[in-house]
């Protein structure tokens, strides 16, 4: 399960040796964090912010950055500079002007492109990144803020916002070698107040394996706007399926770390692992096979009796039975669809009504479901089905304040991927911008973010945790 090249890259001696031998570039060692959420995720980091004059977002952005502990550098544009300077005053993070000489290496690059509405204006964005991208720190973050295409009123601005998405995807490929990521955040103009928690996640080390990803923030989900910085899941009840091992266990640990009481749901066969995990995170155990027809009723009764309701559901349980379509047995097709799709539809009939207001649902999809994968017709079908399900369910539940999202992992180093033939594995984990496989923790942090109150702006979306896989969206 270990990527030997990443392990080598951690040792400077081998790094130089391999480089001398002509092996081009070792994968970057990604900076991650497994601490509980902190008050200042960008503490003492330099953030360089590009803008074309002040926008509706400027003040909000300034406050998010200084509150998060970043030291802002802005272009010498009086109104923008003043907004940043004033906001930084209260936090001892006074804005500084970007001068060409002796700039410290920025860890964060942000361009507020919400007022870029003609393709020609993108020249400014080009020159901003042209000037500063080279100095971006290793494992830095790039984010472009824009208005969503659906909101644009004319042809020119629709063209521009789409063009920016292409720009960021290409940039993500170029900066991956140093572990840096680039994402684009489309903020609906009536959802500016929901930007903060999203930016705090996408600019933090918790999003190390997400790159080349568009994110849409809107105000469909009703919410009270209090987003805790720390312990976001205090007092919440979270049900996680398939939680005994792999990604599920990582999700359970992370969600428990942020304060939620976790219900570990897995098959009776996994009882040892599940019990160990339960004692580690003080979780509750529920054993059942989600394929069985009585599972939904039993589960619903037990949860009602013990907890009265649910705040978070993570549908993580999933299996693979890989075979080329022509060789696939009916049974293999049935098994995969049964666990990955039908079971979810069935138990959700009972579980969805048990969701409390402001609940969060997260579904594990897969890059395979977006791009398709040879030998995985059954798996890709089920995971693509999830995407459709999430998109439709999200609209139904928005009124109750429940956000529904999917996470699509790419190549993640787990026991499931360890079963892939060795040669395929070797190639597969290199086929992304970051040149390495992700860790279960990367998926877990994303799921935890989507389970938090601050994810209110996101619903019906698919967040790829794939290191910017070369195949797929």
Contact 437, 243 (CB under 8 A): no
Is 40 near other proteins (CB under 8 A)?
Answer: yes
Closest contact distance (angstroms) between CB of 59 and other proteins is: 11
Q: How many C-beta atoms surround the C-beta of residue 219 within 10 A?
A: 17
* Burial of 205 per CB tally in 10 Å (0-12, 13-18, 19+): middle
Q: Which is nearer to other proteins, 17 or 90 (CB)?
A: 90
Q: Which is nearer to other proteins, 83 or 237 (CB)?
A: 83
Interface with other proteins (CB under 8 A), residue from 15, 94, 173, 231: 94
Helical H runs in 118-202? Answer: 122-132, 155-175, 195-202
Taking CB under 8 A as the binding criterion, the range among 25-33, 39-47, 98-106, 239-247 that sits at the site for other proteins is 39-47
Site for other proteins in 323-382 (CB under 8 A): none
Site string for other proteins, 41-80 (x = CB under 8 A): --x-------------------x---x-x-----------
Is 95 near other proteins (CB under 8 A)?
Answer: no
What residues act catalytically?
379
Interface with other proteins (CB under 8 A), residue from 14, 91, 287, 342: 91
> By rule CB under 8 A, what count of residues binds other proteins?
14
How do beta strands 181-187 and 141-146 pair?
Answer: parallel
**212 backbone φψ class: left, alpha, beta (φ>0; ψ -120 to 50):** left
Closest contact distance (angstroms) between CB of 94 and other proteins is: 6
Closest contact distance (angstroms) between CB of 92 and other proteins is: 4
Closest contact distance (angstroms) between CB of 104 and other proteins is: 13
Is 22 near other proteins (CB under 8 A)?
Answer: no
The strand pairing partners of 286, in sequence order, are 265
Interface with other proteins (CB under 8 A), residue from 7, 36, 53, 89: 89
Those residues with Cβ within 8 angstroms of residue 381's Cβ, 6 or more apart along the chain or in another chain: 337, 341, 369
Closest contact distance (angstroms) between CB of 82 and other proteins is: 12
Nearest partner of 66 among 91, 45, 49, judged by Cα:
91
Q: Which is nearer to other proteins, 63 or 311 (CB)?
A: 63
Site string for other proteins, 255-284 (x = CB under 8 A): ------------------------------
Strand order in the sheet with 355-364: 284-287, 261-266, 237-241, 310-315, 355-364, 403-409, 462-465
CA distances from 393 to 237, 345, 415 (A): 21, 11, 31
Those residues with Cβ within 8 angstroms of residue 349's Cβ, 6 or more apart along the chain or in another chain: 296
Q: How many C-beta atoms surround the C-beta of residue 248 within 10 A?
A: 29
The Cα 257–Cα 231 span in angstroms is 8
Residues that bind other proteins (CB under 8 A): 39-40, 43, 63, 67, 69, 86-87, 89-94
């Amino acid at each position: 399960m270990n990527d030997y090249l990443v392990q080598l890259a951690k040792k400077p001696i081998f790094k130089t040796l391999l480089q001398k031998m002509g092996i081009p570039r070792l994968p970057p060692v990604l900076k991650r964090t497994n601490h509980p959420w902190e008050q200042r995720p960008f503490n003492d980091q330099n953030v360089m912010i590009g803008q074309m004059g002040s926008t509706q977002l400027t003040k909000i952005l300034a406050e998010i950055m200084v509150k998060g502990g970043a030291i802002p550098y802005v272009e010498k544009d009086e109104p923008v500079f003043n907004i940043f300077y004033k906001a930084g005053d209260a936090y001892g993070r006074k804005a500084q002007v970007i001068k060409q000489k002796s700039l410290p290496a920025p860890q964060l690059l942000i361009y507020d492109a919400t007022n870029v509405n003609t393709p020609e204006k993108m020249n400014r964005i080009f020159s901003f990144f042209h000037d500063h991208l080279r100095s971006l720190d290793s494992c830095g973050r790039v984010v472009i803020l824009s208005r969503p295409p659906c909101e644009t009123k004319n042809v020119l601005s629709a063209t521009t916002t789409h063009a920016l998405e292409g720009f960021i995807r290409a940039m993500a490929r170029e900066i991956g070698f140093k572990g840096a990521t680039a994402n684009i955040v489309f903020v609906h103009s009536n959802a500016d107040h929901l930007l903060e928690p999203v930016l705090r996640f996408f600019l933090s080390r918790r999003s190390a394996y997400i790159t080349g990803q568009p994110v849409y923030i809107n105000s469909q989900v009703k919410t009270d706007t209090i987003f805790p910085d720390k312990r976001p899941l205090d007092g919440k009840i979270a049900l996680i399926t398939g939680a005994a091992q792999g990604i599920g266990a990582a999700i359970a640990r992370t969600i428990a770390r942020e304060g939620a009481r976790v219900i570990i749901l897995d098959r009776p066969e996994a009882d040892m692992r599940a019990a160990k995990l339960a004692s580690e995170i003080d979780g509750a155990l529920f054993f059942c096979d989600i394929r069985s027809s009585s599972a939904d009723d039993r589960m619903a009764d037990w949860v009602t009796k013990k907890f009265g309701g649910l705040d978070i559901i993570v549908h993580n349980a999933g299996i693979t039975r890989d075979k080329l379509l022509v060789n696939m047995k009916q049974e293999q097709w049935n098994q995969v669809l049964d666990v990955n799709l039908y079971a979810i539809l069935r138990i959700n009939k009972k579980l969805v009504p048990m969701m409390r207001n402001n609940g969060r649902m997260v579904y594990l999809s897969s890059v395979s479901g977006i791009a398709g994968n040879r030998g995985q017709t059954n798996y890709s079908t089920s995971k693509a089905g999830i995407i459709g399900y999430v998109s439709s369910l999200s609209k139904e539940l928005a009124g109750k304040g429940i956000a529904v999202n999917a996470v699509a992992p790419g190549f993640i180093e787990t026991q499931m991927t360890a079963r892939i033939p060795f040669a395929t594995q070797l190639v597969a984990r290199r086929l992304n911008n970051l040149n390495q496989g992700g860790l279960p923790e990367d998926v877990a942090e994303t799921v935890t973010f989507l389970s938090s109150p601050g994810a209110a702006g996101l619903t019906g979306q698919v967040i790829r945790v794939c290191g910017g896989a070369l195949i797929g969206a």
